[in-house]
Structure 1
């Protein structure tokens, strides 16, 4: 039996060993996969004690983890880790990236602004003057202490000669207001109103609303007020409807579904970004909204005003 011995060619390079991710790379890969699972499945978390609502509300912020993980993958010099980071990046873009597309824009025939004044506001008049400086047709106010809206209406009567008030919510208008009624949202006191604004282009049913508060361990009151408002809107036969106010729920929160099924979101349709409004110094969610039907939204954004813990929401519409 003849044995053939293969001799290595002198000077030949050794076969490269297959590179395996280091433990640091595996950490990045694991974190990327966990982030992808959270983004794709956070709505499957039961909304017990408000946990689901909280996760829905903050979910867009988890996109900030993607560039952090990408940098980590580069630092550990792992192509596999960098590839893994693409998964949550694609999921995040599919779910929330539409907010980063440039808005279409268009003519503005009606401008509105809504502001939670903050009950502890030391100078609400200064806050509202900042709102009026932009020249909106309608100014919706929530969380105003006793007599505040009446005083503001008197001060701004030359520009806003018409107003409507129910408890701590109110509406200042350049156009005539008729048929002011309180709206039952299931709270112990009336914290919402409906008014018909007679704009030059036609009548508008305007709701100014401050829904129930939500806490991590208690969302039942807020959820009930959403259902009650949705019930009122279903029964409203007006062609043009605006809902302005603090709904105490984010646009990404599953709890807002009864309203989003009935109305459009001005920020989603005509704004850039997510329009976060709270807290005003560094907002991380948007409890304040302008919802509508019967218009075309052409502008949306936020405005930081003095004295309050919420940013204002501004929107423009074409008839």
Structure 2
């Protein structure tokens, strides 16, 4: 009889696919320990922006493990599966509740929007009590003001952002999220080292039957994928710090933040803000509520955050011609 040569024996199910096993373990560690990834070159921010999508590697690795008949790789996949479910397992359940006292809508209308009048009509149909718009051009501001006037008797515009309301507004002022400091700001600021930039955030007080409500409308700085500098987030991060300081100093108990944050709530830069305010999507939505890009949404960078209010429901509105989808929410007292 022939005897098998020990050195030529076929690997068993627990020794097959070592590369797949290591890949599964690394994926699990990335999901579980993502907050420990360095943010040098914006790496940590980039990973956290698209963190839910890392779950797509699980079925790919599983297919490879089954093809290689690797028991070790299959068992190793329990780590990323458990980590992903711990992070996002609840998003597919319907967390909404009936009722609510205010409907909120936020929309980056897009500077390149070819039909702002049509966008305004679409947004009016949503029936929001408070409507926050970002990335308005000077010419488009007049169009939105005209088209929204019948439904919204009160509005305030600061630079490229605006708030339209069915309830009275007061104490509206710009908030500086361009340089990282907070406070009243003129319509433009001049600097020796950069051109004039209009404000990209405002704060207003809404008069409600339950007392004052502080509302912030925000469009934080863009992020860029730089050829040499990695994922550039400096402007966005400075604005997030400024916004967090403004909210921390806010005297009103009830606060709403609406806007294009150019980042998801998983991003560590928003930890200070989300420790004070709740995302209505995460508290009372269903699914991930991705809002960007409108043609094939892969991330929710448009946020509705509340403090002192009860999230009731959250949803995404249809395409209006912008590169972002509008986001909506119902909140209660």
Fold in common (TM above 0.5): yes
TM-superposition CA deviations, 1:4-58 (whole Å, max 9, x none): xxxxxxxxxxxxx997039863343232122112212322221112111001111
Q: 1:22 to 1:231 in 2, by over 3 A?
A: closer
Structure 1 80/23 Cα, relative in aligned 2: closer, same or farther at 3 Å?
closer
Structure 2 residue 136 is the aligned partner of structure 1 residue 144? yes
Gaps of 5+ in 1: 1-16
Map residues 246-261 of structure 1 onto 2, 5 A cutoff: 246-261=260-275
Q: Structure 2 residue aligned with 1:128, among 90, 101, 120? A: 120
Moved more, 309-318 or 22-31: 22-31
Q: Check conservation: 2:264, 2:301, Cα contact below 8 A.
A: yes
1:298 paired residue number: 312
Aligned partners of 1:211 and 1:225 also within 8 Å: yes
Q: Say if 1:117 and 1:142, in contact at 8 Å, map to a contact too.
A: yes
Q: Deviations over 1:51-99 (max 9, x none)?
A: 1100111111101111222233333344333222222101111122232
Paired residues for 1:225-304 under 5 Å = 225-304=239-318
| Distance across 1 between alignment mates of 2:25 and 2:215 | 45
In structure 1, what is the Cα distance between the partners aligned to 2:41 and 2:216?
29
Q: Does 1:60 align with 2:52?
A: yes
Kindly state the Cα deviation for residue 300 of structure 1 after the two structures are TM-superposed.
0.8
Deviation at 1:104, TM superposition (A): 4.2
In 2, the alpha carbon distance for the partners of 1:226 and 1:202 equals: 27
SS of 1:147's equivalent in the other structure is helix
Is the Cα–Cα contact under 8 Å of residues 158 and 174 in structure 2 kept in the other structure?
Answer: yes
Partner deviation per Cα, 1:289-319 (whole Å, 9 max, x = no partner): 0111111000012123221111111111011
Distance (whole Å) between structure 2 residues aligned to residue 79 and residue 143 of structure 1 = 52
Listed as ranges, the gaps of 5+ residues in structure 2 are 1-8, 180-196
Q: What is the aligned residue count?
A: 303
- Tell me the distance in 2 between the aligned counterparts of 1:19 and 1:223: 50
Q: Which residue of 1 aligns with 2:213?
A: 204
C-alpha distance 132-112 of structure 1, shift in aligned 2 (>3 A)? same
Q: 1:301 to 1:24 in 2, by over 3 A?
A: farther
Q: Is the Cα contact below 8 Å between 2:16 and 2:69 reproduced in 1? A: no
1:115 to 99, 107, 126: 107
The partner residue of 2:22 within 23, 30, 38 is 30
Aligned mates of 1:159, 1:122 — CA distance in 2: 22
Kindly tell me: are residues 192 and 261 of structure 1, through their superposed partners in 2, closer, same or farther at Cα, counting changes over 3 Å?
same
Q: Which structure's CA Rg is the greater one?
A: 1
Partner Cα separation in structure 1 for residue 163 and residue 86 of structure 2:
38
- What is aligned with 2:5? none
**Aligned-pair RMSD on alpha carbons?**
2.0
